[in-house]
Structure 1
Amino acid sequence: MGAQTKERDDLDAGEIHDILRNDRRRLAIKCLREHDGPLSVRDLSEDVATRETGESPAPRDKRRSVYVSLHQTHLPKLDELGIVDYDTDEKEVRLRDRAAEITTYMEVVPRYGITWAEYYLVLGILGFGTVLAASLGTPLLGAIGTPAVATTYLLVLTGSAAFHVRSQDREFFEGLRA
């Protein structure tokens, strides 16, 4: 596994952009991030084909096309760059730690149309506004009380941050368990 892997510390910007410019490679990385441990190339190709077509299961020809391109092109490239370990004999693939280098670049346009930075900005503005309104004694928020409003806001912020970290980097929580 990974016999030709580069031993450098960091990927350069050109390599990162080359990896991410291909939809199928991005989907493969995303699928691998969502699974714990190794995946068979067959399971990975079915998952990628399902996401590409929006059909479950994806048509047989599409699954075959995805399998061949992953096996012959994309997985060997990702293995060479140290993003995955691809065992061609066992037909298994798993993400390596180095994959974390490119996941920050994968958030360019998230699923819901706003970035995490935009989400936190809106959350901060809303939180500031509601705490200010509570402290000024507006009818509903004033009755609840500023400490309760601030605590609720902090719980929402903490929950959002925990979800963000969990969705971006599973290793963070695995390190806490050790």
Structure 2
Amino acid sequence: MSQTTDTLSKDNIFEVLSSSRRRYVIYYLYSHEGTAELKELARHIAAWESGAPLESITDEETRRVYISLYQTHLPKLAEFDIVRYDSDARIAELTPRADQLSRYLDTKPAQSLPWPLYYAVLSVISVVLLLGLWFQVPPFDAMNGNTVAFLIAIGVIGITVAHYLYNRQRGGKNMATIESLIE
């Protein structure tokens, strides 16, 4: 029974998130560029569940999780089109629909650069430049209005581009929210 609507209902979302193994699957896929081989996924989940280092996980522990993922959890995630699972290649991949889960996760702030502070500093510098120009305070008296306007525009463009590139590099994902899946 595949879910065909574009938006998941709250009941469906809570059903998906009710299992720690499904949350582990989603977390692992988010933190590994959205795709994983089933055996490697099972190994990592076995390690998380046991609290043991990855290297100490036995084949038996991996197999136990593998079977559970293969028979229960990946089909459930595929049913709601959150994960696409290729049973022949044994590869799981997040779908764009997985992003609908984020609003139901812990939203503690991600560690990020203090962008509001950078914009505030640029605003203060802009005001100082304009006031210095207006009151003809040295060294601002040597500048003209066009130079000040150009410097302010370059500052705004520079911070805006840096902010955009920073967010793009992070993939637009708030990993602190995604990490709440396994806490």
TM-score band, normalised by the shorter chain?
Answer: 0.5 to 0.7
Q: Given the two structures, how large is their TM-score scaled by the length of structure 1?
A: 0.63
Is the 8 Å Cα contact of residues 83 and 96 (structure 1) preserved in structure 2? yes
Tell me which amino acid in the other structure corresponds to 1:74: H
For residues 24-70 of structure 1, the C-alpha deviation after alignment (integer angstroms, 9 at most, x for no partner) is 21221232344467533212212333455362335225433432331
**Structure 2: how far apart are the matches of 1:77 and 1:69?**
11
TM-score using structure 2 length: 0.61
Matched with 1:159 is 165
- Counterpart of 2:173 in structure 1 is 168
Name the structure 2 match of 1:93.
Answer: 92
Aligned residue identity for 2:40: D
Change (3 A) 1:49 1:150: farther
How many residues are treated as equivalent by the alignment?
A: 152
Letter of the 1:16 partner, please give it. Answer: I
Identity %: 24
Runs of 4+ in 1 over 6 A off after TM superposition: none
Structure 2: distance between partners of 1:8 and 1:147:
45
Q: Which amino acid aligns with 1:123?
A: W
Change (3 A) 1:161 1:87: closer
Change (3 A) 1:108 1:58: farther
Higher relative contact order (CA 8 A, sep 6+): 2
Q: Gaps spanning 5+ residues in structure 2: where?
A: 130-138, 141-150, 175-183
CA distances 1:129-157 after superposition (whole Å, capped 9, x unpaired): 211332326xxxx99x6556544432332
Shift of 1:86: 2.9
> 2:43·2:57 contact (CA, 8 Å) conserved in 1?
no
Change (3 A) 1:36 1:156: closer
User: Which residue, 121, 129, 143 being the options, matches 1:130?
Assistant: 121
Structure-2 change in CA distance of 1:62 and 1:127 (3 Å): same
| Structure 1 segments unaligned to the other structure (5+ residues) | 170-178
